[in-house]
Amino acid sequence: MEKNNLKVTLNQKSQMDYVRKIVKDNIWYYRDRMNVARGPCDLYILRTCYSSGIIDENTIIWGNGLDTWICLKNIKGLLNMIKVPEVQLFHALKREVTIKPLLNEIRENNIYKRKYWVNGL
């Protein structure tokens, strides 16, 4: 069984390095859930916002060199630079420790409403 080795030419490698540098050094703006523009932000602030749940893959982002606001997941390389392992770990821990217990508490408080609604059908 052979492995498919991806071979990258020197030109392709230099293009990827250039994209990484531009994405890393750019100044970014994002629109929050109320559609208010926030920024300027560097990559560190975007990582903090992602790990805190302020932004996600579907957040609209704008930066120097872009003509219009665009979804974060559509900007080549930016999402991978934000979702480094440390940020993913913190995001998962926050979800497990903070968000899930709050959701479970809300669900337990609404058991009566759900039972009443189901019985009313």
Calpha distance 2→105 (Å, rounded) = 52
C-alpha atoms less than 13 angstroms from C-alpha of 54 in its C-beta half-sphere: 19
Residue 121 has pLDDT above 70, yes or no: no
Domain extents in the chain: 6-83, 84-121
pTM of the model: 0.66
85-99 confidence digits (pLDDT tens)? 888 888 788 888 887
58-114 confidence digits (pLDDT tens)? 999 999 888 999 999 998 888 888 988 888 888 788 888 887 888 888 888 888 777
- What is the homologous superfamily of the domain 6-83 according to CATH? GYF domain (3.30.1490.40)
Q: Find residue 30's DSSP bridge partners.
A: 38, 61
Average pLDDT of the chain, as a whole number? 83
Using a CB cutoff of 8 Å and minimum separation of 24, what contacts does 18-22 make? 19/76, 19/77, 20/77, 20/81, 22/65
Residue 82: count other Cβ atoms within 10 Å of its Cβ. Answer: 24
Which residue reads 């805190």 in tokens? 52
1-46 confidence digits (pLDDT tens)? 455 667 878 877 777 776 777 777 889 999 998 999 998 999 999 9
